[in-house]
Amino acid sequence: MAASPEVGQILTKHYQDGKIVAAICAGPRVLLTHKIRIDHKHTITCYPTVRKESTDGEPYKLDAPDHAICYSKH
C-alpha cells in the first residue's frame, strides 16, 4: 500500500477532506510514506519495528487518536 500512488491519492484526499483516517500496526508506514501528516503536529503509534524504520521525530505514544488521524499498534 505504501508503494501505491493510487492509495496515496485516496488517503490524501480523504485526509484533506477532514475525514477520519486510521492506521493499525504497520499501517502508519503507509501514512508516513504518503506524507499524511502536517509537519510534526500529530502523535503516532505503530508496531515497534515500524517506529524505528519510519518515524522522523513525530511524537509517539501507545495509542494515539489525534485530530482526524487515529493510530494504534494493535
The counts of H helices and E strands in the chain are 3, 3
> Which of 1-5, 35-39, 66-70 is least confident?
66-70
The confidence score (pLDDT) of residue 51 equals 66
All 3 cell numbers of residue 33?
510514506
Please state the pTM of the whole predicted model. Answer: 0.62
Sheet harboring 69-72: ordered strands across? Answer: 21-24, 69-72, 63-66
Domain-wise residue ranges, the chain: 5-72
**Residue pair 15/32 in contact by the 8 Å Cβ criterion:** no
**Strands 63-66, 69-72: pairing kind:** antiparallel
The pLDDT score that the predictor gives to residue 22 is 82
